[in-house]
Structure 1
Amino acid sequence: MAKTKRVLAVDFGASSGRVMCAEFDGARIALRELHRFSNDPVIVRGTMYWDVLRLFHEIKQGLLKAKSVGPIDSMAVDTWGVDFALLDEMGNLLENPVHYRDKRTSGMLEEVFRHISAAELYAATGNQLMEINTAFQLRAVQRRRPDLLARAETLLMMPDLFHYMLTGEACAEVSIASTTQLMDAQTQDWSQEVLKALGLPPSLFPHIVPSGTRIGRLDAQIAEELGIERIPVIAVAGHDTQSAMVSVPTKKENFVFLSCGTWSLLGTELRDPILTEKARLADYTNERGYGGRVSFLKNIIGLWLVQESRRQWMREGRSYAFGELEQMAGKTKPFQSLVDPDAPEFVPSGDLPKRIRAYCERTHQHIPQSEGEIIRCIDESLALKYRAALAQLEDCVPETRGAEIHILGGGVQSGLLCQMTADACGRNILAGPIEATVMGNVLVQLLASGALGSLEEARQAVRDSEPCRTYVPADPAAWDAAYEKWKEIVAC
């Protein structure tokens, strides 16, 4: 009988993090949460930072708790995309990494386009043009903190930073590098064209390695501090979306995925990037993942709208579980109020329900008042946004027409949103796994160790470990009418 493999997955989301232990018996993967913690940005003198030292402390707490489960074969970290840290020549942090929701990138799209056009930038990198992307963040640093960039020796993306803090080894994993708007979509190396246009020194960027690369072992000082072994550290698909992609439990070549968390990401998996003008105008991005595969996807604001609304009600003294909010939404009248989830006013933190009401008033709709009406407005609007993104995907990749949709991540827990997505898109939905990012992190570690032999074997292990739930579309006429109404509203 094969020896059970035991690995640790450190998974950071935009609002929380956790350290999970996975055991693989050769067929199934069992996950166990060891340590969970909040990931709270800190605003200092008008700048929003990630509290990276506390987050590293939380990784250590997870390692301490892992002592109770037995020997660990490897560990790896995945995080959100686009954010980075700058290190000096001694390898020390110059400052805490700045949060992608910080306002410093305002106006940076136009600033960058003075040096390289939107079409040229997309043709080189294949990335959706968003101000939060690393390239635009760096332009903000050039404009406002040139002294900081002058002192920087190395740039590390967030998962690469945590791996560096764990091992002392610096590298750039390909999936997280592909979120920067600085990596060549074809060669999978830093784009010299883009770096030159933006005046960025190539020496700032470490060499890019494939997903599944063994970086090294846990630093000896950390191992001694915690009283643990020097665990091998693997560069998995460091961008959480690409870790989730590994865990899509499909047997098919053509499929659609919807990774549904704080952000929603809808797309498909390809062998080669799509760098056409049609893809650029549709705001689709190309990200590299495990095995060099391309995730052709669109970023859509996701459960952030629900999360931030819930936080506002908590600030007002009304605390609800997510399940309670879903029950309230399910009891309200459908299609009373619809919004564009990606409207700029919904991006910042703060009073989301107030802004949703203002949007509905401006567009001459019913103004939602209760918590249930707000959540139903969000869920229906997200489902209709997914339908619009799906139409664009089919236009760019005709092979996806009629393909089933796999919903992954936290959104799987909302049966209401899953059913609405099936209804809006007119497709069967296969929901699961819930812990898609952690599962993908684990799978790449197992692939790196040889415990799994291929991506197909990895996805079979997911199917054997967690069955999917199927949602079948219903009432197509009502959703077709709602879609036409929604298109008119978002065009206002």
Structure 2
Amino acid sequence: MVRTPTTLTAFAAVDLGATSGRVMLGLVRDAATVDLVETGRFPNGPVTAPDGESLHWDVLRLWEGVVDGLREAGRVAATHGVELSGVGVDSWAVDYGLVGDDEHLVRPARCYRDPRFLDVADGVYERVPASEHYAVNGLQHLPFTTEFQLVDEVTGGAGEAFAAARTLLLIPDLITFWLSGRRVAEVTNASTTGLLDARARTWSSALLGRLAAEYPGLGRLPALLPELVEAGTVVGELGPWVRARTGLGPVPVVAVASHDTAAAVVGTPLPARQGDEVAAYVSSGTWSLVGLELDAPVLTEASRAAGFTNELGLDGTVRYLHNVMGLWVLDECRREWARTGDPVDLGELLAAAAAEPGGRTVVDLDDPAFLAPGDMPRRVAHAAARAGQPVPATRAQTARAVLDSLAAAYARTIHQAAALAGVRVTQVHVVGGGSRNALLCRLTADATGLPVVAGPVEAAALGNVLVQARAVGVLVDDDVDDDGGPRGLGGLRDVVAASSDLVRIDPARIDPAR
């Protein structure tokens, strides 16, 4: 038997989350499967300013972790006989850095969990109604959306830094700029700012003008917003300083689907839409992003009132979703228990939670009380008491309450999304860290009455790598998939499925609406 030599290409995916960042080496074999190797991991988290209240990100520490991870990615790729063919960055949304005339930040990047943002939106809506916002940007109300941060920027005493800035760069665009020297805004993340026209996929001159009229300090904002590019644009090559630090060559830098949820949706093996039948997704991590992939935004008043958002995706798609407070709540519970000197093993906690009666305590995890770091077990108990539900008395009961509440929120969100978009959901795909939580996936199947497909865990990194691979020609659009169609999103997802160990969980009962 004659073996065909394996064609191997390598890409570095920088994936920055709110609690940690990492660099993943993606080894693409024969343009058919991807193996991921972690080459760098580093902590992240909000840093409290000296005033004891405002929160910032230590972006320079993240940058050091990125550089170290890229150096290691190059070394590991070399052991496989290849060099890197691309680098791409994805991260959480809405937060940004203000960059001066050089490459430096004019002040530390603020964190969306900063409590100062909580009351800004109400004042903005008094001047520019929420319905007027939604008709343009299609975003659900979140108190920390970039536009509200910017209003606080110019009205809350930080206007000096704003005036000194030359460019506003969202976090992945900032790292991309430091890697390549080019200032751009990738559209999937830009769509979370509140400043984009969801239909036209461009900065909204109308909304920018309305904001400037109400807040004159924002008059120079259009000049700070960089050129928009679609996911899959090669923006440049690694700059000389980065090459010197990493030992890498002139590797292409690709603007991937840079919102980590957009990358994760690319890396979700969703089946192609069949008529009005679609699959839902849950990108389950610190946040849970629950929704559908559509061809056009849903900008109705009913959609706005239900709190759904229209964020942009790869290849002209729309991520129609709702942000649900995610595993952050359970993680904060465990951090609090560890802080008080009695850490809890996650596996043991989940096993104990599975033994608890289900549906006993279900609370609204979207309550802003769960947003900031702090004593989360106490907040869960208070929420249960306020709702007239049994107050968890043990750690296992607290964990079960959090997971039951998450599953209920997933089910509610999926059914609402389907009704508002006029489609029928046939299955649910759970990706990200939550896909490893067998109890959460089982509870989600039971709550929705739909089959759940769990995996891949590393959906965002896979999506990041695959967009890069297509951008540099390793995955070619004029290839055809098994159905004879162009190798677009469906072709990328064939690679995801071939690269992943997927687990199907059927519900204890079938949704009667199906």
Give the CA deviation at 1:463. Answer: 1.0
Alignment partner of 1:123 is 2:135: yes
Cα distance in 1, alignment partners of residues 241 and 364 from structure 2: 50
Q: Percent identity?
A: 38
| 2:321 paired residue among 297, 300, 306 | 297
Cα distance in 2, alignment partners of residues 355 and 224 from structure 1: 49
Matched position secondary structure for 1:9: strand
User: In the alignment, what sits opposite 1:415?
Assistant: 438
Alignment partner of 1:468 is 2:492: no
Give the CA deviation at 1:468. Answer: 1.4
Matched position secondary structure for 1:61: helix
User: In the alignment, what sits opposite 2:241?
Assistant: 221
User: Deviations along 1:434-489, whole A, 9 cap, x unmatched?
Assistant: 10111100110011112223222110011111131111111579x99xxxxxxxxx
Matched position secondary structure for 1:112: helix
Cα distance in 2, alignment partners of residues 67 and 223 from structure 1: 11
**Unmatched 5+ stretches in structure 2:** 213-217, 478-487
User: In the alignment, what sits opposite 1:457?
Assistant: 491
Q: Say whether the 8 Å CA contact 2:26–2:34 is kept in structure 1.
A: yes
Cα distance in 2, alignment partners of residues 392 and 22 from structure 1: 36
Give the CA deviation at 1:102. Answer: 0.4
User: Deviations along 1:279-326, whole A, 9 cap, x unmatched?
Assistant: 101111111111111111111101011111111011011222322221
Alignment partner of 1:206 is 2:222: no
Give the CA deviation at 1:148. Answer: 1.9
The farther-off stretch of 413-422 and 124-133 is 124-133
The farther-off stretch of 451-460 and 53-62 is 451-460
Alignment partner of 1:47 is 2:54: yes
Q: Say whether the 8 Å CA contact 1:78–1:159 is kept in structure 2.
A: yes
Q: Aligned Cα RMSD in Å?
A: 1.6
User: In the alignment, what sits opposite 1:386?
Assistant: 410
Q: Say whether the 8 Å CA contact 2:8–2:27 is kept in structure 1.
A: yes
Q: Say whether the 8 Å CA contact 2:67–2:245 is kept in structure 1.
A: no
The amino acid that maps onto 2:262 is: Q
Superposition pairs of residues 100-111 of structure 1, within 5 angstroms: 100-111=112-123
User: In the alignment, what sits opposite 2:102?
Assistant: 90
Matched position secondary structure for 1:266: strand
Matched position secondary structure for 1:403: strand
Cα distance in 1, alignment partners of residues 132 and 288 from structure 2: 26
The amino acid that maps onto 1:233 is: V
User: In the alignment, what sits opposite 1:488?
Assistant: none
Q: Say whether the 8 Å CA contact 1:412–1:431 is kept in structure 2.
A: yes
Superposition pairs of residues 44-193 of structure 1, within 5 angstroms: 44=49, 45=51, 46-69=53-76, 70=78, 71-144=83-156, 145-193=158-206
User: In the alignment, what sits opposite 2:24?
Assistant: 20
- CA gap 1:271/1:364 in 2 versus in 1, 3 angstroms: closer
Cα distance in 1, alignment partners of residues 412 and 74 from structure 2: 48
Cα distance in 2, alignment partners of residues 226 and 442 from structure 1: 19
The amino acid that maps onto 1:147 is: E
User: In the alignment, what sits opposite 2:297?
Assistant: 273
Matched position secondary structure for 2:383: helix
Q: Say whether the 8 Å CA contact 1:28–1:464 is kept in structure 2.
A: yes
Matched position secondary structure for 2:202: coil
Cα distance in 2, alignment partners of residues 232 and 75 from structure 1: 6
TM-score between both structures, scaled by the size of structure 2: 0.90
Q: Say whether the 8 Å CA contact 1:84–1:155 is kept in structure 2.
A: yes
Query: Paired residues, what number?
Result: 478
Q: Say whether the 8 Å CA contact 1:104–1:137 is kept in structure 2.
A: no
Alignment partner of 1:405 is 2:425: no
**Unmatched 5+ stretches in structure 1:** 481-492
Cα distance in 2, alignment partners of residues 446 and 99 from structure 1: 32
User: In the alignment, what sits opposite 1:194?
Assistant: 207
- CA gap 1:420/1:10 in 2 versus in 1, 3 angstroms: same
Q: Say whether the 8 Å CA contact 1:42–1:51 is kept in structure 2.
A: yes
Q: Say whether the 8 Å CA contact 2:103–2:178 is kept in structure 1.
A: no
The farther-off stretch of 223-232 and 340-349 is 223-232
The amino acid that maps onto 1:143 is: T
Cα distance in 2, alignment partners of residues 91 and 195 from structure 1: 25
Cα distance in 1, alignment partners of residues 465 and 345 from structure 2: 29
